[in-house]
């Protein structure tokens, strides 16, 4: 009877409309006759969800039955964006749903547009995690994600009339989230504070008691693979008070204390920390990290125990990937469980741990390397601090054995940094507690080995340290965001997208078509329509009219000094000043350009916020200048998000990735632009280098000093400073115009300008001239549209390497040792 009643995935239009209407009537309790777009979205989502759940259950059943080795991706951030369109495309049901909703009187675009982004991340690291989940499911790999279910995702960015960034909360769950399933039956208790007492019975065991206990409750998010039944799981934890109220306080008449207890438990998962690249050592952040790693490990262990194997076989069934150092507490937590609860000896426990974990580093910037004050750890997690000290003692003993008497080395390699207060260096702990360590692009992985982890490479051997160049999912970042281009590719290659979207190197077959004029015309037409789609979006959301007969030049990413949005805006001012000095005759030769910026600044990052303010105010002046506005205009699009990126990226002719050499670990939007036929203007940094290797240097615009020069240049700035006027007159002129008040509020920008005039840590004055020269090369290349379109086609054709399928398969084979599982 069970079997007969089980439902299958609905694939025909009439079953789809039936299930849609059924959800309107029963799940939403609404009248089908006065349904708005939001209701239509909800009904469509619930109906698609029914389909996903069928596959999701089968996938789970398969994994349970076969008990293969599984991998778990621990990430404090998952920047998922919207789900409905992606799910429909992965299920191959987009056309049927479009037809279904049309029959019911809606348009697919309006319906899709109702969905809020799931923005549980800051930037690159969080979006990478989302791409890896898509690829894991699409490659049929048994991978689950673990994260936190923040009530508020990344803040909403507003821009004040003066051009200042304002932050508003992002209550993304207010409209209900059809893509998650509360698992009220899956919950774990997580302890904080209290006392840890060693047993002193000849074992390494200790008792950790007292303190506060909080409940972690699971919410599951379905992750559909592309053209496969495999539907994996992303498990997000929500914190709850263990008992809703502290009844004792309540009865004692202390109502406030009772409510307080429930408040502080719920606070743990209330908000995503909005900084990337700076660690502030805040207690609540550490609580988030432990809460999440403890719940995830308890869940993983419970699942492992269900297969009935000996605990020593744990690493044969479980691989855990640490997405940066944020989940590093998982290392001492697993030690605690194995020693205090499973009663293993230290060596056996450490062997299990160091065969289970894998650590990915995402940045070598010193301010981004996490360090936790010892007193804070001692207070919040007393048992974990003991374990960290024990790990450190044994580790330093082994270092001392290899390098007797080398005290400097011991101090350098210690997990504990001396100082007031002492701090635990999380990257070192992640490194020594893991089976392997990797960076995210070739240059970056070399820098990890030669800078922050140099001593560890020497001590542990270089084979532990590897590289997995990042990737992006071509499903969202081509098929979904650029449907016309996707269709053209399928038509031209005569290959179903179900094939090439999963074997992206097939795009190389486009190469000969660079010589086909008709194809080039089609290609250019799609780019043009994507520019018009963006212009339409800006018109309807901001009321601004954009010139679509211009080159679209885009820089979209978090605001950060190392990413050098300031270099870009100073370049724009330089262009403006140059245009102002041109004769009418000269102006005729200039190709119009529209420059777009978007990105959020961390709320406490003063200089980054000033950069936004400068961009907005420069835009105000130059967009209103009748002398130049047809040739140059500038837009700062507020509230950058995954959904906005999906409109911006396909519309770009050129995009900018201009970090100081050696500072951007990889970058992933560079790959997205290139996949959509946008050319790249960048420094010799991160994955830009590998992109150039693939598409050929003649198809990218490189400029600026190289990584090995950076250290020397900084030394020069400090010890032999040369005034900007002398070193780079063009830049000095631009700075003086800003200082002189050409864009209003003269004094306001001084702190920003002074970062360049004094110290210039990110080397703007060293790279400015070659940047301007590169921009001129872009202008010139754009004048020859035939050659430009050829470059564009070649760029897309050579992007196969950057599919996140390639990256996730490298992790699966060379790190986790897991295999694909076919769900039939």
Active site residue 351: no
CA atoms of 494 and 489, how far apart (whole Å): 8
Mention every residue, 6+ apart, whose C-beta is less than 8 A from residue 695: 674, 794, 795, 798, 799
Site string for ligand 26W, 179-208 (x = CB under 6 A): ------------------------------
Cβ 554 to ligand 26W, closest distance in Å? 17
Region near ligand 26W per CB under 6 A, out of 121-129, 237-245, 378-386, 705-713: 121-129
Nearest to 553 by CA among 565, 539, 542: 565
Identify whether 557 is a catalytic site residue: yes
DSSP 753-810: HHHHHTT-TT-HHHHHHHHHHHHHHHHHHHHSHHHHHHHHHHHHHT-GGGBHHHHHHH
Among 115, 238, 276, 340, binds ligand 26W (CB under 6 A): 276
Find the residue with minimal CB distance to ligand 26W: 124
Q: State which of positions 363-402 bind ligand 26W (CB under 6 A).
A: 363, 368, 370
For residue 405, the Cα-to-chain-centroid distance in whole angstroms is 43
Binding mask 428-457 for ligand 26W (x = CB under 6 A): ------------x-----------------
Is position 688 an interface residue for ligand 26W (rule: CB under 6 A)? no
Nearer to ligand 26W, 338 or 710 (CB): 710
Alpha-carbon span 326 to 121, nearest angstrom? 13
Span interacting with ligand 26W, options 117-125, 254-262, 484-492, 768-776, rule CB under 6 A: 117-125
- Per DSSP bridges, beta strands 679-683 and 654-657 are parallel
Q: How far is CA 11 from CA 46, 50, 222, 483, 544, in A?
A: 15, 12, 19, 21, 41
Stretch near ligand 26W under the rule CB under 6 A, chosen from 18-26, 208-216, 270-278, 644-652: 270-278
Catalytic residue among 17, 325, 668, 796: 668
Q: What is the DSSP string of 338-406?
A: IIIIT---HHHHHHHHHHHEEEE-----GGGS-EEEHHHHHHH-HHHHHHHHHHHHHHHHHHHHHSTT-
Q: Are 596 and 648 in contact (CB under 8 A)?
A: yes
241 binds ligand 26W per the rule CB under 6 A: no
Kindly name the residue from 435, 672, 717, 794 that is annotated as catalytic: 672
Binds ligand 26W by CB under 6 A, chosen from 324, 340, 646, 760? 324
Interacting span for ligand 26W (CB under 6 A) from 311-319, 362-370, 451-459, 757-765? 362-370
**Orientation of helix 565-580 relative to helix 750-757, angle to 10°:** 100
Among 10, 479, 639, 664, binds ligand 26W (CB under 6 A): 664
Judge whether 668 counts as a catalytic residue.
yes
Q: Is 407 designated active site?
A: no
Residues 125-144 that bind ligand 26W (CB under 6 A): 125, 128
242 annotated active-site: no
How many residues interact with ligand 26W (rule CB under 6 A)? 22
- Residue 664 or 766 having the CB closest to ligand 26W: 664
> Which pair of structure tokens corresponds to residue 648?
């911006």
Q: Which of 143, 130, 195, 184 is nearest to 472 (CA)?
A: 130
Of residues 275, 434, 438, 617, which one binds ligand 26W by CB under 6 A? Answer: 275
Please check whether residue 190 is in contact with residue 214, taking contact to mean a CB–CB distance below 8 angstroms. Answer: yes
Least distance to ligand 26W from the beta carbon of 75, Å?
10
Q: HSE-up of 49 (CA within 13 Å, CB side)?
A: 18
Other CB atoms within 10 A of residue 790 CB:
18
Question: Minimal distance in Å, beta carbon 590 to ligand 26W?
Answer: 34
Which residue is catalytic, options 70, 371, 384, 558?
A: 558
Structure tokens at 614: 């400068």
645 within 8 A of 656, measured Cβ to Cβ: no
Among residues 94, 362, 476, 806, which one is catalytic? 362
Taking CA atoms, 295 is separated from 67, 315, 355, 370, in Å, by 21, 19, 20, 21
Taking the least distance from each CB to ligand 26W, the nearer of 123 and 433 is 123
Cα atoms in the Cβ-side hemisphere of radius 13 Å centred on 64: 9
Residue 367 vs 750, nearer CB to ligand 26W = 367
HSE (CB half, 13 Å, CA atoms) of 119? Answer: 25
At residue 292, the 3 state secondary structure works out as: helix
Q: Which of residues 751-770 bind ligand 26W (CB under 6 A)?
A: none
How far is 493 from 200, CA to CA, in rounded Å?
70
Among this protein's residues, is 514 annotated catalytic?
no
Shortest Cβ 289–ligand 26W spacing (Å): 10
- CA 585 to chain CA mean position, Å: 47
Binding segment toward ligand 26W, per CB under 6 A, in 361-369, 428-436, 529-537, 756-764: 361-369
Q: Which CB atom, from 100 or from 123, has the smaller least distance to ligand 26W?
A: 123
Q: Of the candidates 94, 235, 362, 657, which one interacts with ligand 26W according to CB under 6 A? A: 362
Q: Which is nearer to ligand 26W, 643 or 804 (CB)?
A: 804
Binding part of the chain for ligand 26W, among 495-503, 536-544, 604-612, 662-670 by CB under 6 A, reads 662-670
| Smallest distance from ligand 26W to CB 770, Å | 22
Interface positions with ligand 26W (CB under 6 A):
123-125, 128, 275-279, 324, 362-363, 368, 370, 440, 470, 664-668, 686
């Amino acid at each position: 009877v069970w079997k007969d009643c089980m439902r299958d995935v609905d694939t025909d239009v009439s079953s789809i409309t039936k299930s849609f209407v059924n959800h309107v009537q029963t799940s939403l309790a609404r009248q089908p006759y006065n349904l708005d777009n939001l209701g239509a979205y909800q009904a469509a989502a619930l109906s698609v969800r029914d389909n996903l759940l069928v596959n999701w259950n089968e996938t789970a059943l398969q994994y349970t039955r076969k008990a293969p080795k599984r991998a778990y991706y621990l990430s404090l951030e998952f920047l998922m964006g919207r789900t409905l369109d992606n799910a429909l495309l992965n299920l191959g049901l987009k056309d049927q749903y479009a037809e279904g909703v049309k029959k019911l009187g809606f348009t697919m675009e309006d319906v899709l547009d109702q969905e809020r982004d799931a923005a549980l991340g800051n930037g690159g690291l969080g979006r990478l995690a989302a791409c890896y989940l898509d690829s894991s499911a699409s490659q049929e790999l048994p991978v689950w994600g673990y994260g936190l279910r923040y009530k508020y995702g990344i803040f909403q960015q507003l821009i004040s009339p003066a051009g200042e960034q304002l932050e508003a909360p992002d209550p993304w769950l207010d409209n209900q989230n059809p893509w998650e399933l509360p698992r009220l039956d899956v919950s774990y208790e997580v302890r904080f504070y209290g006392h840890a007492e060693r047993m002193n019975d000849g074992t390494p065991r200790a008792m950790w008691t007292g303190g506060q206990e909080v409940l972690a409750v699971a919410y599951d998010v379905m992750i559909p693979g592309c053209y496969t039944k495999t539907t994996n799981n992303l498990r997000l934890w929500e914190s709850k008070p263990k008992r809703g109220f502290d009844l004792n306080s309540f009865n004692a008449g202390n109502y406030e204390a009772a409510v307080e207890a429930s408040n502080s438990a719920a606070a743990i998962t209330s908000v995503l920390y909005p900084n990337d690249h700076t660690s502030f050592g805040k207690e609540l952040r550490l609580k988030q990290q432990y809460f999440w790693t403890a719940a995830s490990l308890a869940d993983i262990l419970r699942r492992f125990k269900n297969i009935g194997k000996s605990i020593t076989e744990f690493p044969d069934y479980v691989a855990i990937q640490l997405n940066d150092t944020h989940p590093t507490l998982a290392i001492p937590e697993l030690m605690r469980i194995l020693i205090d609860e499973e009663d293993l000896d230290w060596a056996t426990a450490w062997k299990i741990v160091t065969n289970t974990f894998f650590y990915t580093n995402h940045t070598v910037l010193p301010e981004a390397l996490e360090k936790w004050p010892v007193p804070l750890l001692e207070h919040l997690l007393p048992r974990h601090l003991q374990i960290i000290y024990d790990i450190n003692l044994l580790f330093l003993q082994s270092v001392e054995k290899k390098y007797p008497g080398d005290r400097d080395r011991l101090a350098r390699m210690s997990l504990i940094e001396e100082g007031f207060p002492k701090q635990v260096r999380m990257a070192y702990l992640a490194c020594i507690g893991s089976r392997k360590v990797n960076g995210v692009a070739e240059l970056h992985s070399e820098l990890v080995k030669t800078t922050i982890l140099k001593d560890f490479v020497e001590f542990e051997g270089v084979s532990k340290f590897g590289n997995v160049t990042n990737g992006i999912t071509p499903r969202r970042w081509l098929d979904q965001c650029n449907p016309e281009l996707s269709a053209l590719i399928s038509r031209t290659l005569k290959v179903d997208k179900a094939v090439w979207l999963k074997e992206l190197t097939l795009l190389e077959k486009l190469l000969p078509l660079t010589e086909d004029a008709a194809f080039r015309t089609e290609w250019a037409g799609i780019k043009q329509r994507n520019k018009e789609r963006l212009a339409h979006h800006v018109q309807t959301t901001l009321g601004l009219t954009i010139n679509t007969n211009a080159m679209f030049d885009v820089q979209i990413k978090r605001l950060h000094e190392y990413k050098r949005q300031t270099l870009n805006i100073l370049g724009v001012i330089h262009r403006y000043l140059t245009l102002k000095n041109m004769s009418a005759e000269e102006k005729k030769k200039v190709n119009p350009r529209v420059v777009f910026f978007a990105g959020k600044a961390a709320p406490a990052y003063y200089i980054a916020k000033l950069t936004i303010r400068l961009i907005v105010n420069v835009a105000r002046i130059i967009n209103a200048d009748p002398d130049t506005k047809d040739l140059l205009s500038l837009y700062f699009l507020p509230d950058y998000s995954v959904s906005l990126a999906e409109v911006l990226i396909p519309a770009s002719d050129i995009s900018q990735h201009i970090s100081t050499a050696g500072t951007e670990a990889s970058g992933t939007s560079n790959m997205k632009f290139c996949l959509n036929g946008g050319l790249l203007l960048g420094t010799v940094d991160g994955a830009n280098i590998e992109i150039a290797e693939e598409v050929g240097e003649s198809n990218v615009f490189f400029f600026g000093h190289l990584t090995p020069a950076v250290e020397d240049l900084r030394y020069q700035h400090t010890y032999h400073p040369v005034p900007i006027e002398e070193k780079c007159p063009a830049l000095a002129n631009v700075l003086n115009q800003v200082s002189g008040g050409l864009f209003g509020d003269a004094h306001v920008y001084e702190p920003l300008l002074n970062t360049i005039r004094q110290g210039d840590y990110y080397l703007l004055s060293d790279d400015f001239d070659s940047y301007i020269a590169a921009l001129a090369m872009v202008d010139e290349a754009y004048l020859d549209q035939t050659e430009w379109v050829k470059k564009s086609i070649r760029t897309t054709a050579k992007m196969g390497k950057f599919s996140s399928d390639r990256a996730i398969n490298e992790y699966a084979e060379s790190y986790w040792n897991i295999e694909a599982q076919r769900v039939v």
